[in-house]
Chain A
Amino acid sequence: MASARYACADATGLHKICEQTRAAGGTLQALWASDERDRDGGFRLWIALGDAEGLLLLELPLAAERPEYPDLSDLFPAAAHLQRATHDLLGVRAVRGDSRPWLRHAAWPEGTFPLRRDLPAETSYPAANDAYPFVRVTGEGVHEIAVGPVHAGTIEPGHFRFSAVGEKVLRLEVRLGYAHKGIEKRFESLSVLEGQRLAARVCGDSAVAFSWAYCMALEGMCGTLLPERTLRLRALLLERERLANHLGDLGALGNDAGFAMGLTQFSRLKEELLRMNARVFGSRYPMDAVIPGGVAADLTEAARRELLEAVTPLENEITILRNIYADHSGLQDRFTGTGRITPALAAQLGLRGLAGRASGQPGDLRCDHPCAPYDKLAVRRVTQTGGDVAARVAVRFAEAQESLRLCRVILESLPSGEVQVPLRKPDDFLPGSGWIEGWRGPVLVFLQASKDGRIRRCHPHDPSWQNWPVVEHAIIGNIVADFPLINKSFNLSYSGVDL
């Protein structure tokens, strides 16, 4: 990947650049803000755009008295949630658009902005009344079904408000933010070297993706170049993470359609993979395997051979299960046509990652802007155009097989060399960015350091931000009883966006 480009813009220029990017088929990658009042008396709005050349970081200085910027949700629908969250944390707001709180539930009062530098992290407030106005749908026989944030299963908290007529869903509104932990504030009390441990814990199922993106941002700032062996080991970890999640999801999707045999078989495969992770990398979900300047531990020759020998049996088992899923009429009846997002709608809403590739959006950072070592691995892109649950299942099967192929290639031709290099002192002027294709989609980490080697601002961005609004569309016209299956086929993160 070519390193990110930076630009500083004013409000009209920003909107114009966004318009041009949008017209050229570019996407909004992330939107966040930072408090720079101690440096130059104002705030900064940051926008990360993705286009044909890679990542473009736009910086918009905002006055401290009236930190306002033009609404971007007309160009990028996904910006709506991001703008609301940015306002809750820093008081930087878009001049138009939805002004309801997003992350602020009742933990802090209106007019208080926890991410501002003058507010100590340990400040706490008495619990307040949490009144949130959902959009009402009226009409003959329309009723609301409120689900969550506490669910019957052990899953993450999120509130789903359905407006339905009988079983048919007219509208779904998702409310998140229940898992807000103040991760961005916590980053600011850490040194740049400690930050990786927190980044790996932003979203447990994407630990490798986030820690690699963080390390990529930091190493970019330090100008560190990593040896080939280190990079390949990181890719190995990332592909195994992708594989574990795809296996788990494929089983869960079968189970949600009442096919418990799928769950037990895929759970077994996933468990074997995780146990091998524990043996070889010291952790089932390798949170601290990717560290600044390399990877935590080298792969022994015996471990390399063990991992390599496990590839072919797993490939065969996945092929068998893929055939069982494909031949099961009951399962295919549940999957096909359910929760369809057409390629046109996907493009309009900015659907990305795995779900995007199931709706004809071919974006995959490993192919489009490959960072080392992916530039030498020639990743085969997987796309489907169906846009339904069946397409998302098909993409998962194909990507799991491709990840196994990549694992084999990496393990067969692992070069010798160092796995850790010392980091130079980071530059405190230019921010760093890391952009990695996690299993859900592109993960972005933005990092600013101060002179003494501490984190000044770190913003981790999960692709779920862009995809949650699409889930609201996917259920429209489907029946209430199919929502769990549709939701599982996206399997978006709560923790990763609530931060």
Chain B
Amino acid sequence: MGAVTLTAVLAQAAATVMAVLVAPLLLGWVNQCRAWLQNRSGPGILRPYRQIRKLFHKDAVIASNASPLFRLVPYVEFASMALAAAIIPTLWTGLPFAIAADTIALVGLFAMARLFLALAAMDIGTAFGSIGARREMLIGFLAEPALLMVFFTTSLIARSTSLPTIADGFAHQPFALFPSLAFASVAFVMVLLAENTRIPVDNPATHLELTMIHEATVLEYSARHLALIDWSAALKLFNYVCIGLALFLPWGLAESPANPAGLLLAAPALVLKLAVAGAGLALIETLNAKMRLFRAPEFLATAFLLAMLGLLVRLLLGS
């Protein structure tokens, strides 16, 4: 486990800033892959950056009855996702910040971000905001237990609820196959799709207000506020993919930033894994249609069931 030294803290801070800066690139890559799979030329992988820049150059339009909460929420969202990025191992596992929050706290952090977003959606009092908040909470309260079960399974194997410790255990111990992880990984991908408003649960590209889940909650936002929300959504996707990589594909992670040779391997490994994960995500989204809203609970219940099976396999069979 990483000691809290000044170098380690600085390195971790730098890594967090990198994660924040790189996150829109992953979203751009997923969208580009989607376009290619649909025989479109696509907008290029830098499109999310251009969108964020455009939004920062606009004047914000805010409803006259907006409370201070409405203005505050984009910053809360962004800060939560940046904080999450700080406790998720991307390049190395010796994270000094990790002692502050384990996987359960991470789930809580995501839940808090969602709660604030739902509150902001209802703040203006439009029908769409309330619909969006309602649906977002429906997805959230079903996805959270499934995510927790995934974390419990991995925690049982690694005997720790700290994400860097779990990743470290998988990455640097003799290779072993855990059937329980197979269940957990499928459950995790399902949660990832639901939590990041991807098809088949939500459609991030839709313009139909009545079908939106996440988009309906942010319809009232514009300019810099919307830029921050879009950016934190990109960061959330990046965080989720990195959690998945840390839990299920941790190979290549360095132990600490003090070892440049390890980083030399970890950085290209991360890029490769993100590229493959992004393309896989685009493939899932292209092959599926969006499911009827009330199928989402079934979908997430299946995720929960799989995660639960993983947990039982680990507990009862020890594998």
Chain A residues within 8 Å of B, Cβ to Cβ: 143-147, 151-153, 166-167, 254, 256-261, 264-265, 268, 328, 330-331, 333-334, 479-485
Contacts and interface: CB of A to CB of B under 8 A. Distances in A.
A261 B203 contact: no
A328 B39 CA distance: 19
A265 B39 contact: yes
B267 interface: no
A254 B200 CA distance: 13
B210 A483 contact: yes
B39 A258 contact: no
B236 interface: no
B173 interface: no
A145 B211 contact: no
A481 B293 contact: yes
Contacts of A331: 289
B281 to A, nearest CB: 14
B292 A153 contact: no
Contacts of B127: 143-147
Nearest to A488: B208
B294 A152 contact: no
A261 B37 contact: yes
Residue of B37, B39, B127, B219 with highest tally of chain A CB at under 10 A: B127
B39 A268 contact: yes
Contacts of A483: 210
Contacts of A261: 37-38, 286
A485 B290 CA distance: 12
Interface in B2-19: none
Contacts of A151: 207, 209
A259 B289 contact: yes
A226 to B, nearest CB: 43
B34 interface: yes
Of all A-B residue pairs in the complex, the 4 with the closest CB atoms, nearest first, are: A258-B290, A330-B289, A153-B207, A484-B208
A145 B289 contact: no
B34 A481 contact: no
Nearest to A258: B290
Given A258-B199, A258-B200, A259-B289, A333 B295 contact: yes
B207 A152 contact: yes
Nearest to A482: B292
A36 to B, nearest CB: 45
Residue of B37, B205, B209, B288 with highest tally of chain A CB at under 10 A: B209
Given A258-B200, A265-B39, A480-B131, A147 B291 contact: no
Interface in B189-247: 199-200, 203, 205-211, 219
Nearest to B209: A152
B294 to A, nearest CB: 7
A328 B38 CA distance: 16
B57 interface: no
A299 B289 CA distance: 42
A330 B40 CA distance: 22
A183 B206 CA distance: 34
A484 B211 contact: yes
Contacts of A145: 127-128, 131, 210
Contacts of A480: 131, 210
Nearest to A153: B207
Interface in B110-145: 127-128, 131, 134
B294 A479 contact: yes
Interface in B36-82: 37-40
Contacts of B290: 257-259, 330, 334
22 contacts: A143-B127, A145-B127, A147-B127, A152-B209, A152-B219, A258-B203, A258-B206, A258-B290, A260-B38, A264-B39, A264-B40, A265-B39, A268-B39, A330-B291, A334-B289, A334-B291, A479-B294, A480-B210, A481-B292, A482-B292, A482-B293, A484-B210
B309 to A, nearest CB: 23
A331 B38 CA distance: 16
B210 A147 contact: yes
Nearest to B292: A334
A479 B40 CA distance: 32
Contact of A481 (B207, B210, B289): B210
Nearest to A483: B210
B223 to A, nearest CB: 17
A242 B45 CA distance: 38
Contacts of B34: 260
Interface string B290-316: 111111000000000000000000000
Contacts of A256: 208, 211
Contacts of A330: 200, 288-291
B291 A333 contact: yes
A174 to B, nearest CB: 14
Contacts of A265: 39
B4 to A, nearest CB: 46
A352 to B, nearest CB: 26
A426 B208 CA distance: 48
A260 B38 CA distance: 7
Interface in B260-302: 286, 288-295
B38 A264 contact: yes
A330 B200 CA distance: 9
Contacts of B131: 145, 480
Residue of B207, B208, B293 with highest tally of chain A CB at under 10 A: B208
Nearest to A337: B292
A272 to B, nearest CB: 13
Contacts of A152: 207-209, 219
B293 A479 contact: yes
A482 B134 CA distance: 16
Contact of B293 (A167, A260, A268): A167
Contacts of A167: 293-294
